[in-house]
Amino acid sequence: MMTALLLFWPALAALLVLLVQGQGAKRVAFIAALVEFAIALFAAATFTIAKTDPQFELSVPWIARAGISFSIGMDGISLLLVLLTTFLVPLIILSSFKHDYKKPNAFYALILFMQTGLIGVFVAQDAFLFYFFWEVALIPVYFIAAIWGGARRVAVTFKFFVYTIFGSFFMLAAFIYLYFQTAGTGIAAHSSDINAFYQLALDSSTQSWIFWFLFLAFAIKMPVFPLHTWQPDTYTEAPTQATMLLSGIMLKMGIYGVLRWLLPVVPNGASQWLDVVLVLSIIGIIYASIIAIRQHDLKRLIAYSSIAHVGLISAGIFSLTEQGLQGGVIQMLSHGINVVGLFFIIDIIFSRTKTREIMSLGGITQTTPALSICFMILLLGSIALPLTNGFIGEFLLLSGVFQYSYSFGAIAGVTIILGSVYMLRMFQGVMFGTRSPETEAFADLTFNEKAVLFPLVVMVFWIGLFPGTFLDISEPAVFNLLNIIQRR
Amino acid sequence: MISIILLAGFGIINLFTGFLKSNRIMLPLVLFFLAIVFGVNLFSWNDPQSYFNNMMTIDNYAVAFTGIMVLSTLLILPFSQRYVADQDENLAEYYSLLLFALMAGIMMVSFENMIMLFLGIEIMSISMYVLAGSDKKRPRSNEASLKYFLMGSFFTGFLLFGIVLIYGATGSFDITTIAGTAVGADGIDNTMFVAGLLLTIIGISFKISAAPFHFWAPDVYEGTPTLFTAFMSTVVKIAGVAAFYKLLNAGFASSYSTWFPTLIAITVLTLVVGNIGAAVQGNIKRMLAYSSISHAGYLLMSVIAFNERSEQSIFFYSLAYSVATIAAFGILKLVTVQREDESFASFNGLGQTNPLLALVMTVSMCSLAGIPLTAGFFGKFFIFTSVLEDNSLIWLVVVAVLLAAVGIYYYFKVVIAMYMQPTGNYERVRVTSLASFVLIFMTVLTILLGLAPALVSDLI
């Protein structure tokens, strides 16, 4: 029941928000999102860490005759991602308080509606339900980006939309194929339950093509090189809230899909292509980092840094080691927190100076101690300095890649150096140096902005100093996944 | 059976209401007739009956498709308020022709004899030839009617010739008797049988506008008054596909390997032509015409799959497709009549001037594109499921999936125009309350079926 509540509350709240006229919608949406976070915290408090099976399960027949059920539940990995989602959405809504978007009720209703889709993806225990929520999460963010975005929004978001749907149709085809290989129970001849998928015994050539069908969908979402071309433009053109949703939460859908629906379902197919995926991921890391160094636009810079980070997560996960998987999970949380914080800071800078060009900024530190400190902490988290959240994730991921292959590990490790180059170069250009006309009267953080950034900063340290809190939650689930992968 | 008699009777009665010259009386009357037929039809559920020495059978298959067709007509007609064509002069005749066409549709889904199939197709086609030209003062409408008539008669010849050849080979019009004979069976003239079968397939392919027999469709759809285009692309098409499946399933199941290569070529070609054709259109009505070709392709996929899931998937897809298409054409009619423009630009800024219309149109476009939360997703889902039951057809699903992505491109061009383009100097589109009600009903139905497809998919 807990999961169902988590799933349906945002959708219900979205309908409520639609009825609110004027700018009051943002407050209603914020309160609804806080309630959702409270429910998630309560779920976390009553969660039994030692159990590997999904908890708070609910399963009702959906298309009974076909063996498709509306079945949801959470294991450790799901719980962490649900916590991440419910933690970030209220902050994302709060971060928009200074903007007066036109038609605010539709804007905030779409955000909440998207939350239902995101949570659905993380808790679905049925392949078709997973696919269903996968698309449900996409539609609202498309409209948010395409209606409230920047000048080139229409073409750019359209590319993003068609690109991702294109990938997910392949996932659907693969799911239907897998579904016919399963054995059902009762009146249904087949079943799309996740456990039925986990028990499939397919020959290796079938697994090989199924792998690519599924990987295409997930890789476009993450995105993995060379399927990343939609991402920088979409992040740049979308309104900041949509960018946060996309980078903070939505790209985790792709990684989660790999963990839950790719590796355990076609482990043999995955092992045939590990080298290829790792090489692609590592190319992505280096390529995106180098491009990030050359960027002048802050939003584009962070967008490319995001591709680099995701490349490392994907490399770590595909090392198929415990450290790699655990690192992937913890880095999903860290990346979500850091990237949302950084995009928010860029939004703050943009709203005061009307520019995102590094060249025309500078000297902001002189008047803004609070902003500078928050920015620095999030940035250090992003470049994986010890004691911050990024360090834990990247360390585990790299140790996973090293176990797979020393040479791959060594090349992937360059990410830390390149990451500090582009991040510190950005910080230097924006915050230090002499003031420009644009940054002449730069005000420090307002109360609302602090309310967004402080929780994020706290989380940077919490994960950095006490990663055990989170690693312990995901550990049984990760072990369980590894068992399934190795057993078959 | 009663529904056929009722429709014929109502069609004749309705002609006399023409003396009243008032749509305010005629429209409610026709809707009332249709509601009766819809209700009466349901009584035959789970009560299969054979009529006229086994010329027709009203079984669950017939009842289900009759239900969709009557419902579609019920949903189309409310958009006839204020303007149909020809300044309402011959309204009674148009309504009667629709009722006759509907009756023919029922014959097409319940036939047991090739003669009945042919009669059904002909009655329907003749009604449509007239309706296509009903906007008498517009040259495009005249052109549509003439084109449809000439091409239609030509392909009717194919169909009739096919039926005759099959009769020559098997000695029977009865599809159960025909089913007893197959290619290579004793006493069968192989060449004659195969030629007859292929000619019949070509004849029906024309009626459902499957490529390469689709060339008439875009021009005819564009020229025909929008209300009747909606009828043409839903009721006519669904009757055709349902008849097609029934014919192959009941009559030619044992000749599967003979018609399969032909039909798969037609299907792939239809998918490609429909989707690529729709993507390059600048006129929304033409885009919808090509999109309806592409949907014929998806429906044919299910016919090709030819297994126990086919009926269910054709049924669900037909319902989802009809509801979304009628909403799209209904809105197109409302918008283009007022804005006098059929290009994508005529929808510019509709999200601001008419939020309701824009929302309904968005849901319909999503449904046609097959995006979850809408009935169209489960339509595609059931189709792909029935095709993938046979592993050898994976490539067909891959082709369909690639083309479905193209579909998203052209359907979302409408959404982009509505929400992301400035309104310009367009004013609010006027919508009658009956039309609004029907539009809301269709949206709710589309979303309901997108959430709980089992409500109807388990019926058949």
The string of DSSP letters for A305-371 reads: HHHHHHHHHHHHHTTTSHHHHHHHHHHHHHHHHHHHHHHHHHHHHHHHHS--BSTT---GGGT-HHH
Mutate to test the interface with A, among B394, B410, B460 (most CBs of A within 10 A): B394
Per-residue confidence band for B117, with pLDDT thresholds at 50, 70 and 90? very high
**Orientation of helix A369-382 relative to helix A389-404, angle to 10°:** 10
Number of domains in chain A: 2
* Selected residues 9-48 of chain B with any CB under 8 Å from a CB in chain A: none
Q: Inter-chain contact B420–A147, Cβ cutoff 8 Å?
A: yes
For B400, the closest chain A residue by CA position comes to A169
Last residue of a domain, one of A237, A265, A293: A265
When mean pLDDT is compared across A417-421, B365-369, B428-432, the lowest value belongs to B428-432
Q: What was the pLDDT predicted at B83?
A: 59
> How distant, in Å, are the alpha carbons of A195, A253, A268, A318, B448 from that of A209?
21, 21, 11, 17, 35
Q: How do beta strands A55-63 and A68-74 pair? A: antiparallel
The token pair at B34 is 């249709």
Q: What was the pLDDT predicted at B322?
A: 95
Which residues of chain B have a CB within 8 Å of the CB of A128?
A: 381
Q: Inter-chain contact A135–B371, Cβ cutoff 8 Å?
A: yes
Average pLDDT (A413-423) is 88
Q: Name the residue with higher pLDDT: A360 or B124.
A: B124
Per-residue confidence band for A159, with pLDDT thresholds at 50, 70 and 90? confident
Q: What was the pLDDT predicted at A56?
A: 87
Residue type at position B295: H
For B460, the closest chain A residue by CA position comes to A65
Q: What was the pLDDT predicted at B246?
A: 92
B420 interfacial to chain A (CB closer than 8 Å): yes
| DSSP-assigned letter for residue B428 | P
When mean pLDDT is compared across A66-70, A398-402, B224-228, B376-380, the lowest value belongs to A66-70
* Percent of residues, chain A, with pLDDT higher than 90: 31
> How distant, in Å, are the alpha carbons of A136, A215, B304, B305, B411 from that of B391?
29, 21, 13, 10, 30
Angle in degrees, CA A302, A306, A308, rounded to 5? 115
Q: Are residues A218 and A281 in the same domain?
A: no
Q: What is the tens place of the pLDDT at every residue in A265-315?
A: 888 888 888 889 999 999 999 999 999 998 888 889 999 999 999 999 999
Q: Inter-chain contact A139–B388, Cβ cutoff 8 Å?
A: no
Q: What is the tens place of the pLDDT at every residue in A347-394?
A: 988 888 888 888 888 888 888 888 889 999 999 999 888 889 989 989
Whether the pLDDT of residue B85 is over 60: the answer is no
Q: Name the residue with higher pLDDT: B342 or B183.
A: B342
Q: How many CB atoms lie within 10 A of CB A350?
A: 15
Q: What was the pLDDT predicted at B82?
A: 61
Q: How many CB atoms lie within 10 A of CB B254?
A: 15
Task: For residue A241, give how far its alpha carbon lies from the nearest alpha carbon of chain B (Å).
Answer: 18
Q: Name the residue with higher pLDDT: A22 or B72.
A: B72
Q: What are phi and psi for residue B338, nearest 5 degrees?
A: -80, -40
Last residue of a domain, one of A247, A265, A283: A265
Q: What was the pLDDT predicted at A151?
A: 79
Average pLDDT (A444-467) is 89
Are A190 and A182 in contact, with CB atoms under 8 Å apart? yes
Q: Inter-chain contact B419–A146, Cβ cutoff 8 Å?
A: yes
Q: Are residues A289 and A261 in the same domain?
A: no
Q: Inter-chain contact B388–A173, Cβ cutoff 8 Å?
A: yes
> What is the Cα Rg of chain B in Å?
21
Q: CA–CA separation, B41 vs B67, rounded Å?
A: 7
Per-residue confidence band for B186, with pLDDT thresholds at 50, 70 and 90? low
Whether the pLDDT of residue A186 is over 90: the answer is no
Q: What was the pLDDT predicted at B26?
A: 82
Whether the pLDDT of residue B293 is over 50: the answer is yes
Q: CA–CA separation, A26 vs B4, rounded Å?
A: 56
Last residue of a domain, one of A220, A245, A265: A265
Task: For residue B22, give how far its alpha carbon lies from the nearest alpha carbon of chain A (Å).
Answer: 40
* Selected residues 319-378 of chain B with any CB under 8 Å from a CB in chain A: 366, 371-373, 377
Task: For residue A64, give how far its alpha carbon lies from the nearest alpha carbon of chain B (Å).
Answer: 8
Complex ipTM tops 0.85? no
Q: Are residues A78 and A182 in the same domain?
A: yes
Q: Name the residue with higher pLDDT: B459 or B223.
A: B223
Per-residue confidence band for B188, with pLDDT thresholds at 50, 70 and 90? low
List residues bridging with B213 in a β-sheet: none
Q: Inter-chain contact B372–A135, Cβ cutoff 8 Å?
A: yes
Average pLDDT (B168-177) is 87
Burial (CB count <10 Å: 0-12, 13-18, 19+), residue B187 = exposed
Closest CA to B328 of B216, B451, B439: B439
Q: Left, alpha or beta for B38 (phi > 0: left; psi -120 to 50: alpha)?
A: alpha
3-state secondary structure of A292: helix
Whether the pLDDT of residue A149 is over 90: the answer is no
Residue showing tokens 């990343």: A228
Q: Are residues A225 and A337 in the same domain?
A: no
Q: What was the pLDDT predicted at B183?
A: 65
Q: What was the pLDDT predicted at A85?
A: 93
Q: Name the residue with higher pLDDT: B186 or A170.
A: A170
Residue type at position A216: L
Q: What was the pLDDT predicted at B187?
A: 62
| DSSP-assigned letter for residue A366 | G
Per-residue confidence band for B71, with pLDDT thresholds at 50, 70 and 90? very high
Whether the pLDDT of residue B171 is over 60: the answer is yes
What are the structural domain ranges in chain B? Answer: 2-457
Q: What are phi and psi for residue B49, nearest 5 degrees?
A: -135, 145
Three-class SS of chain B: CHHHHHHHHHHHHHHHHHHHCCHHHHHHHHHHHHHHHHHHHHCCCCCCEEECCCCEEECHHHHHHHHHHHHHHHHHHHHHCCCCCHHHCCHHHHHHHHHHHHHHHHHHHHECEHHHHHHHHHHHHHHHHHHHCCCCCCHHHHHHHHHHHHHHHHHHHHHHHHHHHHHHHHCCCEHHHHHHCCCCCCCCCHHHHHHHHHHHHHHHHHHCCCCCCCCHHHHHHHHCCHHHHHHHHHHHHHHHHHHHHHHHHHHCHHHHHHHHHHHHHHHHHHHHHHHHHHHCCCEHHHHHHHHHHHHHHHHHHHHHHCCCCHHHHHHHHHHHHHHHHHHHHHHHHHHHHHHCCCEHHHHCCHHHHCHHHHHHHHHHHHHHHCCCCCHHHHHHHHHHHHHHCCHHHHHHHHHHHHHHHHHHHHHHHHHHHHHHCCCCCCCCCCCCHHHHHHHHHHHHHHHHHHHCCHHHHCCC
Q: CA–CA separation, B75 vs B326, rounded Å?
A: 7
Distance of CA B100 to the CA centre of its chain: 16
Whether the pLDDT of residue B86 is over 80: the answer is no
Q: How do beta strands B49-51 and B56-58 pair? A: antiparallel
The contacts of residue A248 (CB under 8 Å, 6+ apart) are A84, A88, A92, A336, A337, A339, A340, A343
Which residues of chain B have a CB within 8 Å of the CB of A166?
A: 402, 405
Identify the sign of the CA torsion B119, B120, B125, B130.
positive
Q: Name the residue with higher pLDDT: B294 or A63.
A: B294
Which residues of chain B have a CB within 8 Å of the CB of A153?
A: 420
Residue type at position B124: M
Per-residue confidence band for A338, with pLDDT thresholds at 50, 70 and 90? very high
Average pLDDT over chain A reads 88
Q: What was the pLDDT predicted at B84?
A: 52
Domain membership of residue A443 as a residue range: 273-488
Q: Name the residue with higher pLDDT: A304 or B189.
A: A304
Q: Are residues A287 and A242 in the same domain?
A: no
Average pLDDT over chain B reads 88
Q: Are residues A476 and A400 in the same domain?
A: yes
Average pLDDT (A1-9) is 87
The contacts of residue B351 (CB under 8 Å, 6+ apart) are B358, B418, B419
Q: What was the pLDDT predicted at A358?
A: 85
**Orientation of helix B190-207 relative to helix B139-170, angle to 10°:** 160
The contacts of residue B366 (CB under 8 Å, 6+ apart) are A139, B373, B374, B376, B411
Q: Are residues A376 and A256 in the same domain?
A: no
Are A214 and A174 in contact, with CB atoms under 8 Å apart? yes
Q: Are residues A290 and A413 in the same domain?
A: yes
Q: CA–CA separation, B212 vs A271, rounded Å?
A: 45
Per-residue confidence band for A256, with pLDDT thresholds at 50, 70 and 90? very high
Closest CA to A252 of A142, A144, A338, A126: A338
Q: What is the tens place of the pLDDT at every residue in B17-63?
A: 877 777 778 888 889 999 999 999 888 888 888 888 888 889 899 99
The token pair at A161 is 């939309």
